[in-house]
Amino acid sequence: MQTSTVTQTVTQPAAVTRPGHVQQLLPRARRRTRANSTVSVVGAGMAGLVAAYELERLGFRVEVIEGSRRLGGRVHTHRFGASEGAPFVELGAMRIPTAHHRTMRYVEHLGLADQVRPFTTLLSEENAYLATSTGHVRLRDAPRALIADVRASLPGADYREETVVFGAWLAAVVDAVAPPGLRAGLRADLARNLLDLVEDVDLSPHLLGHAKDRIDVHGLFAAHPGIRAGCGTRLNGFLDDILTETSPELVRLACGMDQLVQRLAARVRGPIWLGQRVSGFEVAADHVLVRIGGGPGAAVRRCDYVLCTVPFSVLRGLTLTGFDEDKLAVVREVDYCPATKVAVHCREPFWEREGIRGGASFSGGRIRQTYYPPAAADGAGTGGSTDPAQGAALLASYTIGEDADHLGRMPPPLRHRTVVEELGRMHPQLLRRGMVRGVASLAWGEHPWTEGGCTIRWGQDAAACEEQRRRAVRPQRRMFFAGEHCATEPAWIEGAVESALEAVDLIARHAPGRGVAPRAGLEAA
């Protein structure tokens, strides 16, 4: 069995000519002025690449400076082999809500619309497994165990059966998706007042199944938003994430999410420098100094404008000169949630013999969530291969929060062995001789270029979230900021895109001779 943490060297993609009609949006004199200004974009994740592409469309010269040896940031597709059709798994972003219109526009613009497929998520595949107090059971057989678990946690309570059904399935969703602190908080919320609020609601339109022992949690919260008042502050802040992650309105790219990155980078005409570790910034009135590397070999680059897409979890460890106190404060304050993914390259998709054709199991324990590629007969999958000899890839474990830290801080060989052994209790076939061909993992909380999986604002009300976001976005003279930490939709590609477009607008309005700057984004083309 081969094990690896993931490293990958990616050369700069070949550039292609951008659409000529975009040039015509800019008056010639203003294009000339902007062509004399270079924007140095630090970070080649989705925010940096979208910004670079859009800035060039507005007439700026652009260079992209990336510390790692690969493009994409937290979009990271790992392929088990270099041959065509090799099985792959997403160690980073793996799904797009269809309501994320900015991201979907780029998918279409980059010629990937024919690669969009439904993403089958947790609690969608009837033959997948769910961890309960009595062990792993099939989703189709889970209602009785889930309802019994909730009733056992509410001694002396006398709720309607349908109210308990709601509590059982909400608990199942939260147990599967949330970190430990929020899981414990939900139990307290159920006992305290959440079920009391639901007790007065007509749940019959939302009950599912012949036995009415399942419930459409998404539809219920949409129809009765007032019941969110029964959630504690932290759980309420996480609830949107929970509902989105288990929504039926999710899609994936059959060719791999990295193709979004590669095609976007191919549209950037300016240089993309990989392996250039930025160690500090110094902001001045008419330029920004960017320090690259450290020690006697360090270089200092004088930049007209800088767009920094570096996560604040990393930025706060760099030397920052010329920043005002509030900016330094928000760089320190933004909170990040760790995430760890462990993928297994299997000899064959053994789960299909159990009737599992995709979706995910709530595996519980230390591994939490397990995602299966769609069956080959259902179209190209995230881990399936057109050549059975190449095997199949399984996202064996996806964890966040303290669960992710627990696995992420293990040495990779121990992490991989732990996940395979624990998943083997739910799927004994995994432990058969020769079934595991290799294992790869990525602990985002320990990753030097991210030091976290995503920004979190749990426990803050809407006004506080927006205030922190505005402080994160606020420029420092000629230094601007983007990334999901600067967005209203953190933790998603949409947040990276949203923040990039906002930053491009700010730079365009600041540039000398700007006149009235056209708005950035595909909708402006």
Query: Is there a domain that residue 253 lies in?
Result: no
Domain count, the chain: 3
Say if CB 139 and CB 128 are below 8 A apart: yes
In this prediction, residue 2 carries a pLDDT of 56
Q: What pLDDT does residue 378 have? A: 56
Residue 101 has pLDDT above 50, yes or no: yes
Residues 206 and 134 placed together within one structural domain of the fold: yes
Of 443, 475, 499, the residue that ends a domain is 443
pLDDT tens for each residue of 428-454: 999 999 999 999 999 999 999 999 999
User: Does residue 362 belong to any structural domain of this protein?
Assistant: yes
pLDDT of residue 411: 98
Amino acid at position 109, single letter: H
In the predicted model, is pLDDT for residue 377 greater than 70?
no
Among the ranges 5-9, 98-102, 177-181, 375-379, which has the highest mean pLDDT value? Answer: 98-102
pLDDT at 23 over 50: no
Cα separation, 323 vs 475, in Å, equals 9
Q: Are 274 and 260 in contact (CB under 8 A)?
A: no
Give me 402's structure tokens: 């303290």
**CATH number of the domain bearing residue 38:** 3.50.50.60
**More confident site: 99 or 17:** 99
Q: What is the pLDDT of residue 3?
A: 53
CATH code of residue 389 = 3.90.660.10
Cα angle value 494/495/501 (rounded, 5°): 90
Residues 393 and 479 in one domain: no
In a domain, 119, yes or no: no
Check residue 289 and give its pLDDT: 98
Q: Is residue 449 part of a domain?
A: no
Domain coverage including residue 358: 77-100+337-443
Q: Which residues touch 135 (CB under 8 Å, ≥6 apart)?
A: none
Please give the average per-residue pLDDT across 357-364, as a whole number: 96
Is 518 part of a structural domain of the chain? yes
Question: Are residue 309 and residue 341 in the same domain, yes or no?
Answer: no
Q: Which of 434, 439, 442 is nearest to 345 (CA)?
A: 439
pLDDT of the residue at 78: 98
Q: How far apart are CA 61 and CA 174, in angstroms?
A: 47
In this model, does residue 46 exceed pLDDT 50?
A: yes
Residue whose token pair is 């959440």? 194
Kindly state whether residues 325 and 463 are assigned to the same domain.
yes
Q: pLDDT at position 358, please?
A: 96
Distance CA 147, CA 214 (A): 10
Kind of pairing between the strands at 278-283 and 250-253: unpaired
Q: Is the domain of 136 the same as that of 229?
A: yes
Mean pLDDT of 415-420: 98
The DSSP secondary-structure symbol of 207 reads E
Cβ atoms < 10 Å from Cβ of 264: 23
Which of 167-181, 183-197, 263-277 is the most confident on average?
Answer: 263-277
User: In terms of domains, do 50 and 90 share one?
Assistant: no
Quote the longest CA-to-CA distance of the chain.
77
Domain's final residue, options 443, 474, 489:
443
Contact between 104 and 113 under an 8 Å Cβ cutoff? The reply is no
Together in a domain, 464 and 329: yes
For the stretch 297-342, pLDDT in tens is 899 999 999 999 999 999 999 999 999 999 999 999 999 999 999 9
The pLDDT assigned to 79 comes to 97
Work out the pLDDT band at 242, boundaries 50, 70, 90.
confident
**How much is the average pLDDT of 391-400?**
98
Residue 448 counted as domain residue: no
Of 176-190, 238-252, 374-388, 423-437, give the range with the top mean pLDDT.
423-437
Model pTM score: 0.90
Arithmetic mean of pLDDT, 76-95: 96
Q: What is the pLDDT of residue 155?
A: 82
- Same domain, yes or no, for 363 and 216? no
- pLDDT reading at 383 higher than 90: no
**Local confidence band at 186 (pLDDT 50, 70, 90 cut-offs):** confident
Interacting residues of 301 by C-beta distance below 8 A, sequence separation 6+: 40, 289, 290, 291, 292
pLDDT band of 99, cuts 50, 70, 90: very high
- Residue 20: what pLDDT? 32
**Do residues 215 and 166 lie in contact, with contact meaning Cβ atoms separated by under 8 Å?**
yes
Q: Judge whether 114 lies within some domain.
A: no
Structure tokens at 171: 């608990």
422 with 354, same domain?
yes
Residue 11: pLDDT over 70: no
Residue 212 gets which letter from DSSP? S
Say yes or no: 283 and 359 in one domain: no
Question: Same domain, yes or no, for 289 and 348?
Answer: no
> Does residue 249 carry a pLDDT above 70?
yes
Strand-strand pairing, 288-292 and 88-90: unpaired
From CA 230, how far away is CA 195, in angstroms rounded?
A: 8
For 113-127, what is the mean pLDDT? 96
pLDDT greater than 90 at residue 410: yes
Residue 393 lies in a domain: yes
Count CA atoms within 13 Å of residue 504 on its CB side: 28
Amino acid at 141: D
Average pLDDT score, the chain: 89
Least confident of 190-194, 323-327, 345-349, 432-436: 190-194
Averaged pLDDT for residues 349-356: 97
pLDDT, position 228: 85
- What local confidence, expressed as pLDDT, does residue 270 receive? 98
pLDDT digits (tens, 9 = 90+) for 146-168: 999 999 888 878 899 999 999 99
Element (H, E) at 336: strand 335-337
Among residues 376, 408, 443, the one where a domain terminates is 443
Same domain for 282 and 367: no
Confidence of residue 25 (pLDDT cuts 50, 70, 90): very low
